[in-house]
Structure formats: C-alpha cells, structure tokens
Structure 1
C-alpha cells in the first residue's frame, strides 16, 4: 500500500505503511476512540485537554514502530522481526476497550477496560477481529495475550506495559502538551537511543540513566500536578455520585431512563453485551446528563441538580485529611445534611493512592517491572540503586486523601451563612487543611 500519514501535534508525522495497521485504524471499534477523551473529566480543569484515546493510540503505535526500527537495525541477534507486526498492532489496540469516562465508570459498574479490549480483539463479530485474522487464525489471541501479559516473549510485553513503555511515554508527552503544562516533558530521543532488548525483556544503557531518571520525575510530576488535581477529582466525584443516583432511581423509573438514556439501561440491569459497551461514548453520556437536568419535577431533584452541577462545572470544594480523621468527617457530613444536602450524593472521600497507576515503587507488593540499567560489563542494576532521586521517590508514598462537599457550605451569605461559620470553624478547630479553590 502507499504510505499514509497522520499529522500529529506531539510526534509531527505518524506514517502508516502496513495495510493491517491502516485497516485496523479504519474499523468502527477504533474510530469510536475519537469519541472518548483521553483524560476524562480533567478537561474541566485543564481546558485544552480535549484530546482523545484515538490520538493517544496512534501515538503509542508510532513509538512502538520507532523502537522496533531500532531493534531490527541494531539488535538483529536479539529481536525477532517476526514479532514486529504483533508489537505494533498491540500498541495500536492497547486502549481500544476504554469506555466512556472509563475509570470513574468502571469503579461504579464493575467493568474492566482491559477485559473489554481483549473481547474486542477476540470476538468474531468485531471488525477488528476480522482484520487480525487476515494475519493468521490465532493472531487475535496473540495480541490479547500481550494485553494480559501471558505472551511468552517479555520483550513484546514490556514494550507495551512496564515501568517505562511506549504507552506511558506517549501519554506523558501528549497529556502534558494538551494540558498546557511542562511537567510531562522528557528527553524521548535520548531514551530511544539507549533502549535495548534483552533475552527476557528490555533495559537501558547506563549512559542514558539521566534521561530515564528525568522520565520518572516527569511521570511523578504529572501525577501530582495533573492526574491527581483536586478539581479533576471533584468532577470525578460529581460524575460518580450522579451515575450512582441514576442507578438507584432506575428500579422505580424504568420508563424514564429507557427513554432518556437507553444505552445505560444494560449497565443498570447488569446485563452488558459487547455491543452495549461499545454503544457508549463521552458524547452519548453528556447528552444523557443534559436530559437529566430537566428531571427535577417529574423524577428527582437530586439527579437533576447533580446533572446541572456536572454539566455546568459547579465544582465541589475539598479539604485534605489524615487516615484517622473519620470521626471528624462524620461531623462534617452531618453539617452538610443539616442544611438539606443528602451526604451520600453531596459529599465523598476520594483517595488517590488507589488509582489505576502510581509513581515508581520497585519494592511495593504490586510493583511493576523494574527499570534495569545495563552496565559496561553487561550486568543489570535496577534504576533506584543508581539514582538518589529515583530512590527517594520510590521510598515514599505520594498523594493525599480529600473530603469533598458543596461549595455552598462556604457561601458568605443567604441560606448557608450560619452553616459557613460552623463548617469553617470546625475545619479550623480540628486542624484540617484549608479548603482549596478547585480550579479556575
């Protein structure tokens, strides 16, 4: 085929010269990723972060293609070129199972985007599966095995999923660019020069240690400054409480939800097919929320109010707290309830330590693949053993716990004037950190 080129703001030109890759991009399952935001509700905080899973997956494919080109040229005795297509395809499809507002949605309805990624790849009814079978009958299952880490060649697995892989390299650069921050920038060119395949994985030449160290620091900064931003988490809390309220109302108002939000009904009933899952995207969900905004009189005021708050970015405020503050939080919940807000829907505890990804901690019980540095004598040393900076990051826990509540609790006048005094007084007396203004 003639080479096709995608113009990309992060990587400039992304060339596609393999018909399998190009046909996968044109499947309906992959095109759906145009309608899924890469950073979910973070665009309410960083207004430029409107980029999609589609552009990210193209970027991951592109980086995999670049790495493979290096391996085939410089390490033909270690890298098997017969696995190059598998690596590029898996890089392209690694996120194809992400759903609308994926991580928030998953925690409420119990879905798993990695499981759905494998279903899309292996289901005989999908366009993706039909393209993959043109390579070989078992090729879809090979791709799925890389996704679930059971593929025997760990070189391929670690290029797609490890502490430093093509997925993370792209999303750090891409998320940083579209968020308008500099935290995610690192020396990609240098890392690509020092990456090397091993018999059982990948490693990096020791002379590139500072570039790898910079990458780890960039990842840490992106988590602290962007991914764990209090305002973004506030919108996640609103979204989760909104969907939780809708799910609880469904049993008594089935006709309303079947009419206003039909593609959510299978999730409310816990009977989800692959087609049901693929029918949802961010745009569909946002349309549903705007419909729910008018449900105040006929259905439920809480549902309507939460939908308005989410759609119109009426962000909850928050305070950080320590693990032993549960009794104090109970008092705050009671104060919120005393002015007419149902605490189950207008307060929340958000703990960022248990989010899907975390900073580099090689000694944790659920540590990911270590970053190995190759010394001049050929020996391997784990990165934190060489870098004081990485050792410091990997030896401490990062993040915080936050209690979210309606900003009206801090209103200076009107209905909430007395509650403001009580609420702020309690926060101050109990030595909570002052509420932070969530976003702009």
Structure 2
C-alpha cells in the first residue's frame, strides 16, 4: 500500500467534548498531528484573551484543528463518498488542509498580528511548504502535495469545492469553533444542529450546497454565529484585555526603537520588532513565552510598560463607555488634552476600540471571495441562494453592525487627588457620555 493510502493498523481516537470522538485511520494525518509545528498549537489558545472574561475558555488551536479535521472527515466519508460530483482523489488533500488550516497562528493571534503586521495564513502556508516536519510528512504523499495544501488554505486551489469545505460562509472551521467556543465559555448561543447540516450537505462543482429540507438548521447556524460574535467574541471586557495586550506590545516595540535597556531583554521579539522575523523564530513564539515576558516586565523601570503588564497579568482592566466617533470626537480630543495635563499618556490609556461584523451576505462583484453565498438545493435540483428562500436570513443579509467603545483606566483617574480640577473635568466628560 502506498503512503497516501496507508492506514494505521488500529484506528486512533481522541476523546472530544464537542464531537465525542475524533477518528484517525490515515497514517498521514496521524504523523502530521505528531509534528512539532502542530503540537505547538497546544500552547496557543483558540480565543486569545477571552479566558479573562469567560474563565473556561482555555481551549487551544490544537483541539479546534482536530475538530475541523473531524467535521471534514465526516462530510467526505459519510456524505460525499460515492456521489458523482465528488472526486475521491481529493479526500486526503481536504483532510490535511482541514487539520493544518490554523497552523500559522501566533500567540494571542489577531492582536499580535495587528501590532506586528503579520498574517497567520501566510505563516500557515510558509510552514506547509518550508523546512518543517509538516512539510516532510506532506512531501511523502507527493512532491507537489504541500503546494496543493497551501493553495487550499490560500483559497487559490483550482477545485473550489475543496476550498469551500474549510473556507466559506458555512464551513467546517466555523461549525467547529462556534460549538467549541460555546462549550468552553459556557454560553448557549453557539449551539445548532450540525448533525442535520452534515446530513443534508451535498457536493456541487464549485461548493458544498445544502438540501432545501435543511434550511431551518442553516438559519439556526447563522443566528448562532451572530449571537456568538456579540455575546462572546466582541465582549467589552475581552476587548479591554486586548486593548492592554496590544498597548504592551506597542510600548515594548517603541522602547526597543528608542534603545531602552530592558532588565529582561526581549530576545524573542528582536526580529519581530524589526519586522523581519524568520519562520524558525516565529515558531518559537507561543503564549507561554509571551506571558513570561509580561510577568518579567512588571519589574521594568518604564512605568507604562510595567503598569500595563501588571494590569494584564492581574486582570486589572480598563473601564469603558459607549462612544460614537461621528458625534463625540470633540469629547475625545478634550479628554486627550486633559489626560496629558494629568500626566496620563493618552496614547496608551485612552483608546477607542471598534468591533464590526457582517453575519451573512450574498455575493457582490468586487467584494471579498469569502462572501460566496450559501446555496440551497431545491427539490427540482435547482440551486438557489439562501436569502431568496429564508425570510430570517433575508432580514440580516448585508447588514453590518458596528460597535465603538472608549477605554480608560478608572483607577488612575481616581488617584488624581493633587489635580482635582483636571480630575473633575475628566469625570464630568466621561459621565456626560453615559447620561
């Protein structure tokens, strides 16, 4: 038996709280799970700073990646196998892309990316085609196989059906993280009937479609996603922690560029501060490394870095108020001036943070490819876009919701006893917004 088709002598299973069991029979998958690059995902949380809001949210990118693999395996082996529109030769490619789709995530994922202008998908592709253990396993399948896996993740692979399984508006990635994140945060919003969706999913030339009889399960999925974004992913306390995390990284970077002498030198950060990090250096970064530095930097001479690290490590977060940038910019400018008078650096302690989400949209020319709509397979074999059949989905299609908040350290303002006038002006401006 050739390596791409080789099976383990006995099926391996991972006990999973979301899918009950994750099944592995393919030797390729088993060996990929054992690589150093995939094991690194155990040390990166799926939800970044959310554990500071929902204490159960300690799950990792590792467990999510296994979950996405399992959903794709079930779609293919239980739903697509034997159907004329499905090419069985694409099976292993789909499974590998599903397993490895988040391989390039860094510590505290999106916050980290924004500060240092990184892209986890580019690192995922670099790991897959680079000098790595993952690449060695994939190359045993075929010389061009790593390139194909990278193309699926980059959404450039020629078979769009394969791409749609891990990157579309109803894909294995979203179906796993909604349920997994709901389970670990303890909320009820992210639950939907995935079993039903998988049973009615069918392969078509360019994407997976859903039988019309499963429309209500898809409606439930979309509303679950909407609720999870606003109740969990954009929770203002989580965003407060992200604001502080981001400001720590900005401060450390700024100090480095001004030749500040750190007590705990940021050895792991040097190349990333200069925005010329190698793949080898990137793979050494995980959340335990970052938290080591944050804890050490609590003892730094720089008051801002020390204070921000103490806040993050001890969960002493910023307070917030609702903020409308269209009508309240004058207030923000006045607060900026007052913060400077009070000796509080507004660049680090007065932060406007915005969250926005588009729960579902039908395709519009010129917009991002990921907005490819969900299609229903009608009883007459016609394919129709979801919002044309569902009044619920039609009501939210194309509607973007945006939320703005102003974050600040209430404790520092309360301590301004020697600057009573400035303190009162700041408090009156902040209270005026809330009235």
Q: TM-score, with normalisation over the residues of structure 2?
A: 0.93
**Residues 46 and 417 of structure 1: CA distance in aligned 2, closer, same or farther (over 3 Å):** farther
Question: Does structure 1 residue 122 correspond to structure 2 residue 129?
Answer: yes
Question: Does structure 1 residue 408 correspond to structure 2 residue 389?
Answer: no
Correspondence for 1:323? 325
SS at 2:140 equivalent = coil
Contact preservation (8 Å) 1:408, 1:416? no
Correspondence for 2:3? none
Structure 2 unaligned residues grouped into runs of 5+: 1-7
In the TM superposition, residue 416 of structure 1 has moved relative to its aligned partner by 7.5
Question: Does structure 1 residue 174 correspond to structure 2 residue 180?
Answer: yes
Contact preservation (8 Å) 2:358, 2:399? no
Distance 2:255 2:320 in 1: 27
In the TM superposition, residue 23 of structure 1 has moved relative to its aligned partner by 0.3
Structure 1 unaligned residues grouped into runs of 5+: 435-440
In the TM superposition, residue 373 of structure 1 has moved relative to its aligned partner by 0.8
Aligned positions, number: 423
Instruction: Pick one of 279, 286, 305 that aligns with 1:274.
Output: 279
Distance 1:222 1:417 in 2: 42
In the TM superposition, residue 363 of structure 1 has moved relative to its aligned partner by 5.5
Map of 1:240-251 to 2, 5 A cutoff?
240-251=246-257
Correspondence for 1:210? 216
Contact preservation (8 Å) 1:34, 1:53? yes
Correspondence for 2:157? 151
Contact preservation (8 Å) 1:104, 1:240? yes
SS at 1:78 equivalent = coil
Question: Does structure 1 residue 71 correspond to structure 2 residue 79?
Answer: yes
Correspondence for 1:385? 388
**Residues 335 and 141 of structure 1: CA distance in aligned 2, closer, same or farther (over 3 Å):** same
Correspondence for 1:162? 168
SS at 2:239 equivalent = helix
**Residues 415 and 44 of structure 1: CA distance in aligned 2, closer, same or farther (over 3 Å):** farther
Q: TM-score, with normalisation over the residues of structure 1?
A: 0.92
Contact preservation (8 Å) 1:336, 1:409? no
SS at 1:361 equivalent = coil
Contact preservation (8 Å) 1:35, 1:282? yes
Worse-matched range after superposition: 11-20 or 391-400: 391-400
In the TM superposition, residue 46 of structure 1 has moved relative to its aligned partner by 0.7
Correspondence for 2:20? 12
**Residues 16 and 415 of structure 1: CA distance in aligned 2, closer, same or farther (over 3 Å):** farther
Instruction: Pick one of 100, 108, 116 that aligns with 1:93.
Output: 100
In the TM superposition, residue 315 of structure 1 has moved relative to its aligned partner by 0.9
